[in-house]
């Protein structure tokens, strides 16, 4: 899966250079070419998985295989535990609310001390399927990512030492960590491993689109199907492909026409230091996109209608009519899958030795 993503990416990069330099007619031909590339890569992928599945650039979300339920349960407690933050008030779920598609539905998140976050909070649903984590891909996987927010002064504003001393002071956690990791000490690596295990279980199979992919012709209406055909044939699938309908590559925002924004994020250039990577972001997943508004890294597109309109113009040089836009939006809404059914975890109580929360303390 990863190697196919890489091939499409490598192929796309060379096409992209040409793409930027060409004028409108050639540009459209290129879009068709890219679509072809994405399709051939995806077809191999679909075939190897199951012959009953339609061979499309987007594949159904596989049902997760839980390897270690005790670890996942611990990760769930940690995900919901605000004591990992300096304030004792902010948990992962504050900004990745699992009742709201794994996001906060804000343009930019609110962090410690009511600070305005720098960038829109992406969903944690299906995030294990991405080639890397964060908009600019600076964390290679979920484990590497999970340590970040705890110590980020603008998010949970704690430190790894403080978070560990909080957990170690709680007898219920000491017992669970020992049971899961067979060690006496609690470490930050165990915390991030458990969080990642929980997040790997946060997948959303059985969307109506997946039912259609698996052969159920009645799963989509004529309008939704027309929307998918437009999505595929106009070239959206060159970037939004794979089981997550995204997350397989980094691409420029504003490929055909520059994106106008006052937001300071430079995307991938911040990681690679290369000028060509300016305004290049990880292509976001479109799974559950109906739930994850507002859109784009700066949260500047309030509705799906706006996001589709901008994508058409900026990425493909194409203006969709009102009807076409409605069709694509109708298709995008069929990507909403079964949301993880969670029983609220009961968190073990603090002890007399637990460091006290500091909701209004500045910095860390």
Site membership for ligand HEC, residue 173 (CB under 6 A): no
- Scanning 48-56, 148-156, 341-349, 350-358 for contacts with ligand HEC by CB under 6 A, the matching segment is 148-156
Nearest CB to ligand HEC, comparing residues 43 and 290: 290
Nearest CB to ligand HEC, comparing residues 16 and 218: 16
Interface residues for ligand HEC in 10-49 (CB under 6 A)? none
- Residues assigned a catalytic role: 155
Q: Is 122 left (phi over 0), alpha (psi -120 to 50) or beta?
A: beta
Site membership for ligand HEC, residue 98 (CB under 6 A): no
* Strand, helix or coil for residue 62: coil
Exposure b/e, 60-73, CB count within 10 A at least 16 = b = bbeeeeeeeeebbb
Site membership for ligand HEC, residue 248 (CB under 6 A): no
Q: What residue spans of the chain are helical by DSSP H?
A: 2-21, 24-49, 69-80, 92-95, 142-151, 160-168, 171-181, 188-200, 208-213, 222-233, 269-272, 304-316, 322-332
Site membership for ligand HEC, residue 151 (CB under 6 A): no
* Cα distances (Å, whole numbers) of residue 177 to 2, 167, 192, 348: 32, 9, 12, 12
Here the tokens at position 65 are 């295989």
Here the tokens at position 272 are 């690679």
Exposure b/e, 133-154, CB count within 10 A at least 16 = b = bbbbbbbebbbebbbebbbbbb
> Please, is 40 exposed, middle or buried when counting C-beta atoms within 10 Å of its C-beta (0-12, 13-18, 19+)?
middle
Site membership for ligand HEC, residue 57 (CB under 6 A): no
At its nearest, how many Å lie between ligand HEC and the CB of residue 36?
13
- Scanning 50-58, 118-126, 174-182, 214-222 for contacts with ligand HEC by CB under 6 A, the matching segment is 118-126
288, 101 contact by CB (below 8 A)? yes
At its nearest, how many Å lie between ligand HEC and the CB of residue 149?
3
Site membership for ligand HEC, residue 333 (CB under 6 A): no
Site membership for ligand HEC, residue 145 (CB under 6 A): yes
Nearest CB to ligand HEC, comparing residues 60 and 102: 102
| Placement of tokens 């939006």 in the chain | 329
Which residue among 162, 296, 330, 334 contacts ligand HEC (CB under 6 A)? 296
Q: What residue spans of 24-96 are helical by DSSP H?
A: 24-49, 69-80, 92-95
Nearest CB to ligand HEC, comparing residues 98 and 236: 236
Site membership for ligand HEC, residue 83 (CB under 6 A): no
Site membership for ligand HEC, residue 255 (CB under 6 A): yes
Chain residues that interact with ligand HEC, rule: CB under 6 A:
90, 92, 94-96, 109, 111, 117, 119, 121-122, 124, 127, 130, 133-135, 142, 145-146, 149-150, 155-156, 195, 199, 231, 234-236, 238-240, 251, 253, 255, 281, 283-284, 286, 289, 292, 295-297, 304, 307-308, 311-312, 315-316, 328
């Amino acid at each position: 899966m990863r190697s196919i993503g890489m091939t499409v990416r490598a192929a796309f990069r060379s096409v992209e250079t040409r793409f930027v330099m060409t004028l409108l007619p050639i540009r459209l031909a290129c879009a068709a070419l890219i679509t072809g590339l994405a399709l051939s890569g995806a077809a191999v992928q679909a075939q190897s998985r199951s012959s009953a599945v339609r061979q499309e650039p987007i594949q159904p979300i596989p049902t997760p295989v839980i390897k270690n339920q005790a670890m996942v349960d611990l990760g769930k407690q940690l995900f919901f535990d605000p004591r990992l933050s300096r304030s004792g008030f902010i948990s992962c779920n504050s900004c990745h609310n699992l009742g709201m598609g794994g996001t906060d539905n804000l343009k930019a998140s609110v962090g410690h001390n009511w600070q305005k976050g720098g960038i829109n909070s992406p969903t944690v649903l299906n995030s294990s399927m991405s080639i890397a984590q964060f908009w600019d891909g600076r964390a290679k996987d979920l484990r590497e990512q999970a340590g970040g927010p705890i110590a980020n002064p603008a998010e949970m504003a704690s430190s790894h030492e403080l978070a560990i001393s909080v957990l170690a002071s709680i007898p219920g956690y000491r017992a669970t960590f020992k049971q899961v990791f067979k060690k006496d000490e609690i470490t930050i690596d165990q915390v991030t491993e458990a969080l990642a295990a929980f997040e790997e279980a946060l997948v959303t199979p059985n969307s109506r689109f997946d039912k259609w992919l698996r052969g159920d012709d009645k799963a989509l209406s004529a309008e939704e199907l027309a929307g998918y055909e437009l999505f595929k044939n106009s070239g959206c699938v060159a970037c939004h492909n794979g089981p997550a309908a995204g997350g397989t590559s980094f691409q420029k925002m504003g490929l055909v026409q520059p994106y106008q924004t006052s937001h300071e994020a430079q995307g991938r250039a911040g990681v690679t230091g290369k000028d060509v990577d300016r305004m290049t972001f990880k292509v976001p997943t479109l799974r559950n996109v109906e739930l994850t508004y507002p859109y784009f890294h700066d949260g500047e597109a309030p509705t799906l209608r706006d996001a589709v309109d901008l994508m058409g113009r900026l990425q493909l040089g194409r203006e969709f009519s009102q009807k076409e836009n409605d069709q694509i939006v109708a298709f995008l809404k069929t990507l909403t899958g079964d949301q993880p059914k969670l029983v609220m975890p009961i968190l073990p109580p603090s002890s007399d030795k637990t460091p006290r929360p500091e909701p209004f303390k500045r910095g860390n």
